[in-house]
């Protein structure tokens, strides 16, 4: 009763922020993302009658009590559904820094869902995997799929899942991630979602998002980079306006975040196709096309406060693999 899965993080062009139902992670709005090839999580899960407790290791360490409780709650959902009340051993490895706004919960819960479902011998379609992954982490619902992905909000559990807009080969958008911090963020996104509706700007954001979803989906289908980038950049500013005006206020940016944002606008003035987007953290994702990647990577390396640049391209969805971690 053992399964191993690999799943990748994703970067949202239209972002998930705020829940209709926190327990079910039913979002207030739909979202669209690109799965990222280089931000991978590999997870092995084994269920066994010999275990008295769940044993969990992430990146060689026991997770914090809160992180562990979240993983155990997810295992509980899956073993209840499968009708197999066995404890599990879980070993998970990320090949990128976790807790810095690089969406490790997306790849983590997508990999955990697929590996645990395989170990429990559940035969699930991708749609069901996407629904279940959502209960672990909202953005994980999109990481089940590769390439360009849309999560339709839905008003009840069965209706809130993601599907693929286009496969990775459809279009080579590059995401140059400027890491300006590798520290754990102060407020986790799960907490942020609960504050969203305290912002007086939130209803304006929701009506804008509905239009933006159509624009971004269309831009992906016809490969219109300027349309995609300009909507994504304004969309992330709208997200951060909500964060900043929530009560209490969330401010994820650092001076280096703003320096990178300003540079992106300068580089665009100079004729490069590049736009920024930022999740619940200080790091900046620069969306661009292959001809600009080399020079943007170099230029980013010279911006004060940028510690590392990770270049990602569209990646595959979650998959089972043969090599177990233990």
**Residue ranges that bind ligand DP6, judged by CB under 6 A:** 12, 15-17, 25, 31, 103, 105-106, 137-139, 189-190, 193, 279-280
Question: What is the three-class DSSP state of 248?
Answer: coil
Nearer to ligand DP6, 138 or 168 (CB): 138
Q: How far is the CB of 57 from ligand DP6 (least distance, A)?
A: 20
Q: How far is the CB of 169 from ligand DP6 (least distance, A)?
A: 23
Nearer to ligand DP6, 44 or 160 (CB): 160
Look at residues 20, 37, 38 and name the one whose alpha carbon lies nearest to residue 29: 20
Nearer to ligand DP6, 62 or 191 (CB): 191
Distance CA 264, CA 279 (A): 16
Nearer to ligand DP6, 130 or 137 (CB): 137
Nearer to ligand DP6, 103 or 256 (CB): 103
Compute CA 324 distance to the chain's CA centroid, rounded to the nearest angstrom: 24
The percent of the chain in helix, strand and coil, each rounded to the nearest 5, is 40, 25, 35
Q: How far is the CB of 70 from ligand DP6 (least distance, A)?
A: 8
| Alpha-carbon distance values, 237 to 15, 231, 242, 261, 288 (Å) | 11, 10, 9, 11, 18
Q: Which two tokens stand for residue 113?
A: 């869902």
Q: How far is the CB of 183 from ligand DP6 (least distance, A)?
A: 17
Nearer to ligand DP6, 29 or 89 (CB): 29
Q: 86 phi and psi, to 5 degrees?
A: -110, 150
Distance CA 206, CA 74 (A): 29
**Contact assessment for residue 85 and residue 77, using Cβ atoms and an 8 Å cutoff:** no
Q: How far is the CB of 204 from ligand DP6 (least distance, A)?
A: 18
Q: How far is the CB of 49 from ligand DP6 (least distance, A)?
A: 31
Q: Which two tokens stand for residue 64?
A: 């914090």
Sheet holding 274-277, edge to edge: 274-277, 284-288, 174-179, 308-312
Q: How far is the CB of 263 from ligand DP6 (least distance, A)?
A: 22
Q: How far is the CB of 151 from ligand DP6 (least distance, A)?
A: 8
Distance CA 262, CA 254 (A): 13
Nearer to ligand DP6, 158 or 295 (CB): 158
**Contact assessment for residue 66 and residue 72, using Cβ atoms and an 8 Å cutoff:** no
| Alpha-carbon distance values, 215 to 220, 263, 265 (Å) | 9, 25, 21
């Amino acid at each position: 009763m053992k399964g191993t899965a690999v799943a990748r993080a994703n970067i949202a062009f239209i972002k998930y922020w705020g829940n209709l139902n926190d327990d079910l992670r039913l979002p207030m709005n739909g979202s669209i993302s690109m799965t990222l090839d280089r931000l991978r999580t590999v997870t092995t899960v084994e269920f066994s009658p010999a275990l008295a407790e769940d044993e969990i290791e992430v990146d060689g360490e026991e997770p914090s009590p809160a992180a562990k409780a979240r993983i155990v709650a997810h295992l509980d959902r899956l073993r209840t559904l499968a009708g197999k009340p066995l404890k599990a051993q879980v070993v998970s490895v990320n090949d990128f820094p976790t807790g810095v706004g690089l969406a490790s919960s997306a790849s983590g819960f997508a990999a955990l869902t697929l590996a645990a479902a395989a170990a429990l011998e559940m035969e699930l379609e991708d749609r069901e995997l996407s629904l279940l992954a959502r209960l672990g982490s909202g953005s994980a619902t999109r990481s089940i799929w590769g390439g360009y992905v849309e999560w339709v909000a839905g008003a009840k559990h069965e209706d809130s899942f993601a599907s693929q807009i286009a496969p990775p080969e459809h279009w080579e958008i590059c995401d140059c991630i400027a890491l300006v911090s590798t520290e754990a963020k102060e407020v986790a996104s799960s907490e942020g979602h609960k504050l969203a509706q305290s912002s007086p700007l939130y209803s304006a954001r929701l009506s804008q998002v509905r239009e933006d979803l159509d624009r971004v989906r269309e831009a992906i289908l016809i490969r219109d980079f300027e349309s995609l980038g300009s909507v994504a950049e304004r969309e992330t500013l709208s997200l951060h306006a909500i964060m900043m005006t929530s009560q209490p206020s969330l401010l994820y940016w650092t001076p280096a975040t703003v320096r990178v944002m300003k540079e992106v606008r300068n580089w665009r003035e100079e004729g490069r196709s590049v736009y920024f987007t930022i999740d619940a953290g200080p790091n900046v994702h620069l969306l661009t096309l292959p001809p600009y990647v080399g020079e943007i990577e170099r230029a980013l390396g010279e911006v004060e406060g940028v510690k590392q640049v990770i270049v990602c391209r569209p990646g595959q969805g979650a998959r089972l693999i043969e090599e177990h971690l233990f």
